[in-house]
Structure 1
Amino acid sequence: MSQESTANRSSNQLHNLTVSVLDLAPVVSGSTTANAFRNSLELAQRAEQWGYNRYWLAEHHNMPGIASSATSILIGHIAAGTSTIRVGSGGIMLPNHAPLVIAEQFGTLETLFPGRIDLGLGRAPGSDQRTMMALRRDARSGHDFPEQLNELRSYLKPSGPAPVRAFPGEGLDIPIWLLGSSGFSAELAGKLGLPFAFASHFSPEYMLPALDLYRSSFQPSEVLDAPYAMVAVNIIAADTDAQARRTATSMYQTFLDMIRGRTPGQLKPPVDSMDGLWDAYEKAAVERQLGSSIIGSPETVKEKLHTFLKVTQADEIMVAAHIYDHQERLHSYEIVSQLINSK
């Protein structure tokens, strides 16, 4: 096949791609939570203009660099400041909450913003063990996640007389997604016939096995006739490869802290080189955890994204971007949108 025809095939595949945004409302070094919320709203408004499909916020706790801990409230803020983009959770960590409370919260959101709310669910604590105990007040570790999920779904279904019912929530059409970084939620989503989102932005090694497990275990349901897989991936795009690589060092520093067992602080500014900040073992560990990340100029991102789609056969891509400078972050998402929207 000629280079020209290969390029055309790549362009066509990207042009048909559905892309979304994953946001942790990052608090950058020297800034404030209030600024993080303003930046998230501006990014959501721009993403809506650029044709992104969804804007999801992730639940994390006890992390000074992540401001999306009160996820449902922030979803309402973002939805109120936009008009068409879907807004949801990527995800709500269900074992941290009573299923009835989540049914009521998302029933309220769906009532306020009809047809625009997604409920993505995970079973991890979204933090360290001490914070998990503070949230859950017991030693639950997510093993009862299927039962919690079933309880939550029962509150959202149209119901006759029942001892406990969710108002608002009951009878509302709120899409439920299962999120995962391993095989557990992949298999459960498949068996229940639910859409599945995989966190390749921090767990790339399990990506393909989990996607295969989801598709092989899928059973058609009233929700889906066929599997629908979304894959979250770090994409840091800039005008040049060198600029993108420098911008990505903020993300590297965050993951380096996690490799060292430290709670990540506020997002650090980029550096010219990571040499001297990590040793060879740490570099390999960070690069392994960020192995699916796509970093580079528009042409580089286009080529790597095409390869990523070919490998994963993802139905939708959710873009994460840990970028210190807000304008550079906006520009990165704009570049991705231009690749998707160009013919």
Structure 2
Amino acid sequence: MAQSLQPFHTFSLPSKCRQFVQLTDKVQLHDLDFSEPFCLLGEGSNTVFLSDYQGTVIHIATQGVQVTERRDDYLLHVAAGENWHQLVAFTIEQDMAGLENLALIPGTVGAAPVQNIGAYGVELEKFIAYVEYFDIATGQFIRLNRQQCQFAYRDSIFKHALKNKAVITEVGLTIAKNWQAELSYGPLLQLVAPSAKQVFEHIIAIRNSKLPDPYKLANAGSFFKNPIISNQQLQSLLKDFANLPHYYVDECHHKIAAGWLIEQAGLKGYRIAGIEVHQQQALVLVNHGESCGNDLVAMVKYVQQHIWQKYQIALQHEVRLMATSDECHITVQGQV
């Protein structure tokens, strides 16, 4: 029976799927038919369905957190369906400091390694002990260590070699006891010798002030990736845009702020149907309703085109866009 997907993704475009399965126990995976198109879905905060999906949506809703205290750290074994922010809040309550910079990132624990989520100078990969997944071809549960996950900026093996071949079931996180606050990102520099809870609360306040609540105004959070560019390109850009925010990646590359690029291009408040570049945070696209997938695609192309013309930067969307039977990637002609 067709299932409406509008309540299951926070961008809330009208769409349906042919079949909907709620996964509450990983053993259910043995009974599913993966020969037809399928889409794995957590809380739908980083996925947008552009049209009706002609396949099965597998909603990951497994629960459970196990904590093992060791001499130098804590090992957390977490079910994929757990809410990420609630996990961070739990660790802070239990005096396990380390994840506080990743507070209020929407989504599930199982989705977090796929994207290698990060914020305010911290990325998830730092804490990964292992990721367990169900291998669709063999029906086995397999664990990968941090190195095997091939993490990069908003990237992992689950977007490449294991795409459509794996279902993440559990994540192991290591939280060291020798905690030190990570305060290198601008809004955190004002904090003086803060506790982990103070950093946690400060980041929640920052995110709430900058990002619209998806349950009040439909959105999928940060829509575009912050581009990583060569030092040579950065120096060229700084000649024309001296205030361009940039952050060190390695000795050859810097990351620049996509939201700043979009705002400086004058796109805040630009609207196609009910899709708008958010008035307060240009990195976010919002859905006021009365919109369809084609409106969103048009908006993404419009933003990409303007950024390419103004800065010669190919902006990539961070959000996963699902078409009729598979994920799709939007690029503008002429970009490389």
Please, what TM-score do these two structures have when normalized by structure 1? 0.29
Q: Answer 1 or 2: higher relative contact order, Cα 8 Å, separation at least 6.
A: 1
Between Structure 1 and Structure 2, which shows a larger proportion of helix residues? 1
The structure with the greater share of residues assigned to strand is 2
